[in-house]
Amino acid sequence: MGEIPYIRVKDIVNWQIYKDPTALIPESEYMRLFKSSKALRENDILFVRRGSYRIGSVAMVSPFDLKCILTREILVLRTTKNSPITPFYLLYALSHKYTYEQEVNKIFMDTTLPNIANRWQEIAIPIHKDANKQHEISEKIKKIIQNQWNALKEINHLKEEQGICYT
């Protein structure tokens, strides 16, 4: 057992990354697997592209998630400075029912597990035509995510302060 989270498909839930205390790897294994070109950044979006029931699930990388290893079934998406949408809007759009309906039609059985493979690239995400509405949605999602992160920060502080091992 180690202290670095190994993130699996089941750990992408409610727009967050669940750090399963039974799935921690040692620092030496992290160093063996880590590639700087694949380093996570705050606000990256994790997208599940293979798995029994979680295909299309998304999470936003928080400041507390930067040091972990992802299973290969999880794709990392990142907006750029020149992107017409924010990472918060991307999180919203990838969670939209319109997006989900497309994902369902792009999944096929791969040996034993459902898989969307590279067909995720064919999905048209809903982008609001009204820039003000798009901004409003983005800000609402940003506030929700920041509230989640503030709660995590408080929980982590309490863990350190009170010697709590698991939450």
- Going along the chain from its start, the domains and CATH numbers come out as 4-162 (3.90.220.20)
**Residue 17, burial from CB neighbour count under 10 angstroms (0-12, 13-18, 19+):** buried
For residue 104, the model assigns a pLDDT of: 84
pLDDT 10s digits, 55-110 = 899 999 999 999 999 999 999 999 999 999 999 999 999 999 999 999 888 888 77
Those residues whose C-beta lies under 8 Å from the C-beta of residue 128, and which sit 6 or more positions away, are 134, 137
Report the distance separating Cα 78 and Cα 46, nearest Å.
Answer: 9
166 has pLDDT over 70: no
For the chain, the average pLDDT equals 92
How wide is the angle at C-alpha 7 spanned by C-alphas 101 and 105, nearest 5°? 15
Those residues whose C-beta lies under 8 Å from the C-beta of residue 8, and which sit 6 or more positions away, are 20, 23, 71, 73
For residue 109, the model assigns a pLDDT of: 78
112 has pLDDT over 80: no
For residue 161, the model assigns a pLDDT of: 87
